[in-house]
A and B are shown apart, each in its own frame.
Chain A
């Protein structure tokens, strides 16, 4: 099967070195808002980077670690956003509940669609993921009375967090919201890291490396593809829910296949064989998109060129490129 990623087995860093990497990454993320303003950053941009980084890392569980291609993760991203939006708009003014419902909506559809696709492989799997994501897009687009149609779901704001009498104001302070997103990002990446070290995670990697051999070992491939797909949609829908909270609205473009493509390019741009690659890819891509679209009306061409250049010249992504250079 040709969906497997390039045969470059990631060399595990020595344990001490790995801790060093982790400390460096987290120190960077915590300190980022304090100095990045000098190079044109702003609070909402950092939050957006983290959110898309999380979405791309979620996708990468499937793309990089299980070796299955999804080009439809916008669906779960968007459903997460709408789920959160529905709660705040129609039900209750609570941020944690909004996030939970966003996750629930995205993941339930991930489980259902995953069941319909799990027996397909290769390019046909990718094709079905595109088609299923478009179902969600058209529903959001057409179901005016509930979703607000083309204009999107508006008229809600994220709620401050209440811990007893102590209130954290994530609503009006973008910087506080960034740290709130970072906290959720921390929990999610910890869970993803634990997953990849678990037997289930090892099985996913085995499916990527050699699906036929995995089957000979008695692993039910289809069920594991299903599970990996569902888990991957779960993390992407967390990101979607946070995206709705960030923007205080949810609209059909969050479900559109362009977002799917963007999430995939982030994973590939950063390096899909590396756990942190998609975050780096998201940072570069979101930053570039923000910068280019403020500079020229022809930003679409530039984004397109980024896609082409990455595919033709940096197929291993930035981290893979750096590693090979230094090796």
Chain B
């Protein structure tokens, strides 16, 4: 029983880390640009596929570095050509736009790489279980946890200690003032968008090694990442981090006793939070309006 609980706990943490990477990206874009990015999960899938196609030429490690960067650049192009044109419009337009993009990207993946799942092979060094009793602790999972920790730490350091990062945080609270201070908010939003999409690309490369690639692989991650943001508190990236881990662990632990409930539990958690603490775990008062 203990092994079973530990097994599910590990699964929950891994799942939670994917939610965290996704939700941080969605949250960055939501906070600064007021855009809910429905296509985030499709950028994740695209990240995995890019790594798959690059790996024969660059090796796993090369692909691991290059694929997320390419996805970030792609995000930048999408932002500059389309998303940026709807910032000034009612929210319904940005939602519909990313919704349409999500269809297009998913169909592109299906056409280019096929409907069937593909494996993203990982180096042998990462592939072996570390212990017989705890078979679920593979080298890859340890690696995955380490990468996410480094990425999240780097993101928070970037936002906390660099000039651009400070501007992004300031823009979350009051974009008009940031603009009035002479900062190019168009550029800021573009960089921020690319950063968020890049995180999705990274999540895609990591997910490809864990669960394999298929055109819908992001669909199961994008909606939970919305929940993570609501539970953690809109406007707070730390909250998003906590929210992602909480719902990941909660749904994995639920599946020990009630396998069908693993998806439902995160929504129940969300309703409870909304009733008991509407601003979310770490949300600022008034950010929800």
| Chain B, 55-92, CB within 8 A of any chain A CB | 82, 85-86, 89-92
A134 touching B223 by the CB < 8 A rule?
Answer: yes
Q: Annotate B97-109 by CB proximity to A: 1 below 8 A, 0 otherwise.
A: 1011111101110
CB contact between B270 and one of A120, A131, A305, A310 (< 8 Å): that residue = A131
A127 touching B97 by the CB < 8 A rule?
Answer: no
B263 touching A310 by the CB < 8 A rule?
Answer: no
Q: Which residue, of B86, B103, B111, B260, has the highest number of chain A Cβ atoms within 10 A?
A: B103
A257 within 8 A of partner (CB) = yes
B144 within 8 A of partner (CB) = no
Q: Using Cβ atoms and an 8 Å threshold, which residues of chain B touch A300?
A: 103-104, 106-107, 110
Q: Give the dominant DSSP class at A's interface.
A: helix
12 contacts across the A-B interface (CB closer than 8 A): A69-B92, A120-B289, A121-B289, A122-B91, A123-B30, A134-B267, A264-B95, A300-B106, A300-B110, A301-B104, A303-B100, A307-B99
| Chain B, 250-271, CB within 8 A of any chain A CB | 260-261, 263-264, 267, 270-271
A261 within 8 A of partner (CB) = yes
A79 within 8 A of partner (CB) = no
B7 within 8 A of partner (CB) = no
> Footprint of B on A, CB under 8 Å?
2-6, 63, 69, 71, 116, 119-124, 126-128, 130-131, 134-135, 138-139, 141-144, 257, 261, 264-265, 268, 272, 298, 300-301, 303-308, 310-312, 315
CB contact between A135 and one of B101, B104, B267 (< 8 Å): that residue = B267
A304 touching B93 by the CB < 8 A rule?
Answer: no
A6 touching B107 by the CB < 8 A rule?
Answer: no
B24 within 8 A of partner (CB) = no
CB contact between A142 and one of B38, B261, B274, B288 (< 8 Å): that residue = B261
A127 touching B226 by the CB < 8 A rule?
Answer: yes
CA A304 to CA B38, docked complex, whole Å: 12
Residues of B within 8 A of A (CB-CB), count = 45
A307 touching B90 by the CB < 8 A rule?
Answer: no
7 nearest A-B residue pairs (beta carbon) = A307-B100, A304-B103, A304-B104, A300-B107, A142-B260, A301-B107, A135-B267
CB distance from B61 to the nearest CB of A (A): 33
CB distance from A185 to the nearest CB of B (A): 24
Q: Using Cβ atoms and an 8 Å threshold, which residues of chain B touch A304?
A: 100-104, 107
CA A315 to CA B260, docked complex, whole Å: 41
Q: Using Cβ atoms and an 8 Å threshold, which residues of chain A touch B274?
A: 116, 128
A2 touching B82 by the CB < 8 A rule?
Answer: no
CA A272 to CA B92, docked complex, whole Å: 11
B190 within 8 A of partner (CB) = no
Q: Using Cβ atoms and an 8 Å threshold, which residues of chain A touch B205?
A: none
Q: Using Cβ atoms and an 8 Å threshold, which residues of chain A touch B128?
A: none
Closest chain B residue, CB of each to CB of A2: B90
CB distance from A271 to the nearest CB of B (A): 13
Q: Which of B14-22, B146-154, B227-235 contacts A (4 or more CB under 8 A)?
A: B227-235
Q: Annotate B26-41 by CB proximity to A: 1 below 8 A, 0 otherwise.
A: 0000100011101000
Q: Using Cβ atoms and an 8 Å threshold, which residues of chain B touch A120?
A: 288-289
Closest chain B residue, CB of each to CB of A308: B100
A307 touching B107 by the CB < 8 A rule?
Answer: no
B227 touching A312 by the CB < 8 A rule?
Answer: no
**Contact A5 B90, CB 8 Å, known A116-B271, A304-B103, A312-B97:** yes
B264 touching A126 by the CB < 8 A rule?
Answer: no
Q: Which residue, of A144, A300, A310, has the highest number of chain B Cβ atoms within 10 A?
A: A300
A306 touching B107 by the CB < 8 A rule?
Answer: no
Q: Using Cβ atoms and an 8 Å threshold, which residues of chain B touch A119?
A: 278, 288
CB distance from A20 to the nearest CB of B (A): 31
CA A143 to CA B106, docked complex, whole Å: 28
CA A303 to CA B110, docked complex, whole Å: 15
Q: Using Cβ atoms and an 8 Å threshold, which residues of chain A touch B264?
A: 135, 138-139, 142
